[in-house]
Structures are given as C-alpha cells and as structure tokens.
Amino acid sequence: MVKSMNSQLLNHTIIDIIQDYLKSNLKSIFSISGGKNSNVYGITCSDNNDYIVKLYFSHEFDKRDRLKTEFFALQFLRSNHVFNVPMPLYKNEKFSFAIFEFIKGNKIKSENVSHSDVDLLIDFLLNLNRLKYNKNALQFNNASEACFSIKGFITNIQERLERLKQMDKKQSKSNEMLYLYLRNKFIPALTKIKQCCYSSKYGCDSDISIHQKTLSPSDYGFHNALRLPNNQIKFIDFEYFGWDDPAKMVCDFLLHPAMDLSFELKQYFYNRIIDNFENSNFLKDRIVIVYPLIALKWCMILLNEFVPEHLLRRNFAGHCKINIEHKQKEQLIKAEMMLTKAIEAYEEFPFK
C-alpha cells in the first residue's frame, strides 16, 4: 500500500512504470516543493532506497521540452566528471516524467551563503565553459530565451512587453496598476536604455561567436542548489540548459530576484568570474551593456503573474491556492525595484 500526500498526479500507470524500472515496490510518496514548471516527489521503495520523481509541464503555449533538456544535460555533465549535479536514472517521454537520485541536502538561504559557496558556484560555471569544447556539447540547443546580440535582448524584452500591454486595464485594480507602471515608468526607461545600446561601439545586430558563448543552466544560483551534510553543494534544475551568452549568465546571477545576496558577495562573484573566465576583457565590457537590459527583462519576468499561460504552469505545479490579484500587486512592487536597478546601472554600472 503506497502512502500518498498530494500525489494525485502520480497515477497508477506511472507508479507501475516506476516500480518496474526500480524493481521494487513503492512504500511511500511525499511531495517536495518544486519549481513553477514541474511537480517533484520523493519516493521510498520497499528496499528503503529513496529517489526523486519529477513530472514536467507541457502545453501548446510552451513548446520547450523540459524533460529532454534536463535529462540529457545531467547525463552529459555526469559523464564528463561534473558530479555536483543529480544523477539522472530514467526518463519516460510518454508520461513526461523522470527519476533521479535523491539528494539528502537542504535548501540554501541567501543569508547563509559564504565566499566559499560562491567559489564552488564559479568553479561549476568554469567547468561548464570548459565543456563547451566537448564534441557532444553540440547536441544542445540554445538555453531558454538565449540571446546572442544586443538587438536580441531588446527584442525579447519588447515581446514580453507586448504580451503585458494586451492585459485589459479595466479587468482589475492590479491590471490598472500594471498599465500605469508600463506607461509611466517601464517604457520611458526602456526607450532611454535602448538609445544607449544603439550607440554602443559593439553594435546591436552582431551575434557573439561560438567561441564567446558558454554552456549554462540559465536559471541557476543558490535558490536552485542544495547543501549536503559535508557542506558541499549540488546544483539542481536544468530544464533551461543550453548555449548562452556568458554576460547574460553573469547578470542573471547578479540580478536574480530569488536570491537576496549582499552587495559584497555579488562584487566578489563579479571579480572572480572576470578574473577566471576566458575572454575576460570582452566579457567585462559586454556585461556593462547587457546588465541594464537583463534588469529590464527581469522586470517583465516578475510580471508573468499577469500572463495567462504562466498561470497554467503555476496551477500545474500546485501553486494555485493564492490570491492572484494580491500576488500581482506584490510582483509590481518587485518590478519597480528591479527597474530602479536598471536605471541606476544605465547611469553607472554598480560593480568595479
């Protein structure tokens, strides 16, 4: 008899497949807090071994194959001696789920992140950049929403902006607040920052070369990591893995709203990545241009709560028991704070 808690999506067919693969009966299933795009369960078998089962979101609005992306990324990394990531064990594309090793670790709070933790993260990113020269790296697509030109970043922001502008301002108070934020604050800032980018000596239309790209988890950081009892760290969540602009990779870490790191730690990360990454002069100059654009993009991402297809993913991942309008207002406050960072960085880049 399987003890179940919030495991309605692990239907009998999936349970049978899991038991057949593991050659052991399931003793218990327990829900684990996952991301916004998946359901994550821990399972214990009759032999007392634990595993992770992850069910992936898929919908006509979102064509990304999160299952294949994550599973093949982890296979690639583990086969190339990168062991601070989960071991992938089994994938089932028909029912869109996978089995991974169970990592006995704890979530990492931002206030507990140390300089040595940042060192581990940087070593991980440097390993990914080294592996781009592996012939098997060519199997990977671009990371989710990767951009390789300044124009690409601007286009991505504008596409997200157009989706938000379609929201009916008369539908709710929060929609009206969204309309005013976009009209009075975001769009003027975007216009000013775009003009600065277009006058850049690097040009807006040119893509960076393959040698300037890197492999990246895209959505990474200590919010997607677990601390082991020996104080080592394992990095999780590779649904967005692929080729990316290293400047975007660095800026995403510095700006990610899921982490609340001190400025001193961010400066330490910035200095160490610049000192150790190849093409460091190119990367340093590009980060200065890309940083305000990534901040603008995060403004748009934070406002995904207004986008219907995002709510579908949230509902799939079990985040439906919230007051949507209250959440939207919260996200607007965060977007205003992020916009301040974009404007300040446009005026003077914060890291030295």
The position carrying tokens 């949230």 is: 314
Q: How far apart are CA 327 and CA 318, in angstroms?
A: 15
Domain 3-102 listed as CATH 2.60.120.200: no
Considering the chain, tell me which residue range(s) the CATH 3.90.1200.10 domain(s) occupy.
109-347
**pTM given for the model:** 0.91
Model pLDDT, residue 9? 57
Domain 109-347: CATH superfamily is Aminoglycoside phosphotransferase (APH), C-terminal lobe (3.90.1200.10)
Q: Where in the chain is the domain with CATH 3.30.200.20?
A: 3-102
The strands making up 106-107's β-sheet, listed across from edge to edge, are 106-107, 225-227, 233-235
Give the pLDDT confidence score for residue 308 in this predicted structure: 78
Identify the pLDDT of residue 199: 76
What pLDDT does residue 180 have? Answer: 96
pLDDT tens for the chain, residues 1 to 352 = 444 444 455 889 999 999 999 999 999 999 887 556 688 999 999 999 999 999 998 766 667 899 999 999 999 999 999 999 999 999 999 999 999 999 999 999 999 999 999 999 999 999 999 999 999 999 999 999 999 999 999 999 999 999 999 988 777 899 999 999 999 999 999 999 998 888 766 668 889 999 999 999 999 999 999 999 999 999 999 999 999 999 999 999 999 999 999 999 999 999 999 999 998 999 999 999 999 999 999 999 999 999 877 666 555 555 555 688 899 999 999 999 999 999 999 999 999 9
**For the segment 190-249, what is each residue's pLDDT rounded down to a tens digit?**
999 998 888 766 668 889 999 999 999 999 999 999 999 999 999 999 999 999 999 999
Q: Write down the pLDDT at residue 7.
A: 44
Structure confidence at residue 95 (pLDDT): 93
Q: What is the pLDDT of residue 3?
A: 47
Helix axes 263-276, 280-302, angle to 10 degrees: 140
The confidence score (pLDDT) of residue 20 equals 97
